[in-house]
A = this chain, B = another copy of it.
Amino acid sequence: MLTILRLSHRRVRDARLTTHVCLTARALGADEVILSGERDENVLESVSDVAKRWGGKFKIRYEEKSRKIIEKFKGIKIHLTMYGMPVQDKISEIKEKSKGKDVLIIVGGEKVPGEVYQLADYNIAVTGQPHSEVAALAVFLHEFFEGKELTKKFGGAKLTVISQERGKKVI
């Protein structure tokens, strides 16, 4: 089980970015997202709606207290942050330690409480440059799943894209 925890969501300002975090999590192989910060029915519904139409078993839910989730989580806890250790130096160790265990990936919002750095087993950076939690999550999952996530099947889909050189085809 691979869970993403999205910290400190703000309804107005973060709606689209959080949606992108959630859909990226789903598309690139995560099993669920836990949303914390402000409760946002729109994000919960729109992500659930995509998951229903496009298949697979991905779930999203809201939990008010992110600290409790991190503390109680049994498994390997990885916090994505530009201040952490380079993903390319740590990914082998993380994959090794994660074998047979649940994994929690913590994705920050605008300001991450200092305690998150302490509670995580790994603080991991996808470059030390400022960019995007969506991009960091994507590269991390791509490394973690070794590219196999790109061919993941989503069972029970109502919509499926047929890959084409040009144009759009959805069945």
Interface residues of A (CB under 8 A from B): 13, 16-17, 20-21, 23-24, 26-28, 50, 54, 81-88, 114, 117-118, 123, 125-132, 134-139, 142, 147, 149-152, 154, 160-170
Contacts and interface: CB of A to CB of B under 8 A. Distances in A.
A83 B128 contact: no
Contacts of A23: 129-132
A146 to B, nearest CB: 11
A25 to B, nearest CB: 8
B27 A135 contact: yes
B131 A20 contact: yes
Residue of A16, A54, A85 contacting most chain B CB atoms (<10 Å)? A16
Contacts of A85: 163-165
B163 A128 contact: yes
Contacts of A54: 129-130
